[in-house]
Amino acid sequence: MHFYPTERVALFIDGANLYATAKSLGFDIDYKRLLALFSTKGQLVRALYYTALAEDQEYSSIRPLIDWLDYNGYTMVTKPTKEFTDAAGRRKIKGNMDIELAVDAMELAEHLDHIVLFSGDGDFRSLVEALQHKGKRVSVVSTLATTPPMVADELRRQADQFIDLAHLQAEVGRDPAERAQREQRRKPGLLDEYDQEDLIET
């Protein structure tokens, strides 16, 4: 990773995308360590985490994470998921935060030198290009270590720097023993919000 010590840095985290990427690599993100790592790379101005929440659920497994992040240095950007039925009659849940992330990145750009985007979604290529036209450096964090890769080729090509999450595992991965303890505490029979097969991004 190449950062200049004087750079004003902000992290823009597509929560669902980062979760899926880490899961595909077989580890959990330790968000305290993630923040600490990027705090050493420059002047960390802001770390924003974007996720959609199902507000009508009595219990959501992501809620404890959201609360923890909110109290530990992250700015949470959330909105309710929307439920609909597709043409085949299947129940689908829509929870896309791309617009919110893009608008925030453009608005904050004047206060930043380096934007770190945690997403492999090719839809962000235009955002990266627009930020570069404003004179900003943009790093993309995703992975090529899965089949197929989690990062869109056009996004990786557009970025000033591509950081493979697989190479950060030792620095930002959670201890596997912690995961086992958390699984034992988790309420039985409840699916993780992002494990549901009917969660889509449109």
pLDDT one-digit tens code per residue, 72-99: 999 999 888 777 677 777 766 666 789 9
The proportion of the chain whose per-residue pLDDT surpasses 70, expressed as a percent, equals 81
Give me the pLDDT at residue 97, please: 87
All structural domains of the chain with their residue ranges: 15-40+49-82+96-187
CA distance 29 to 33: 8
DSSP one-letter code for 76: E
Q: Which position has the higher pLDDT, 110 or 94?
A: 110
Please, which pLDDT band fits residue 197 given cuts at 50, 70 and 90? very low
Q: 111, 45 in Cβ contact below 8 A?
A: yes
Residue 130: what residue type? A
pTM tops 0.75, yes or no:
yes
Residue ranges with strand state E in the chain: 8-14, 43-53, 75-80, 82-85, 91-94, 114-118, 137-142, 161-164, 199-200
CA distance 27 to 165: 10
CA distance 22 to 41: 21
The proportion of the chain whose per-residue pLDDT surpasses 90, expressed as a percent, equals 67
Please, which pLDDT band fits residue 151 given cuts at 50, 70 and 90? very high
Give me the pLDDT at residue 192, please: 47
pLDDT one-digit tens code per residue, 165-180: 999 999 999 977 665 5
pLDDT one-digit tens code per residue, 5-57: 999 999 999 999 999 999 999 999 999 999 999 999 999 999 999 998 876 65
Peptide bond into 148 cis (omega under 30): yes
Nearest Cα residue to 75 out of 12, 128, 30: 12
Nearest Cα residue to 75 out of 58, 40, 100, 93: 100
- Domain 15-40+49-82+96-187 carries which CATH code? 3.40.50.1010
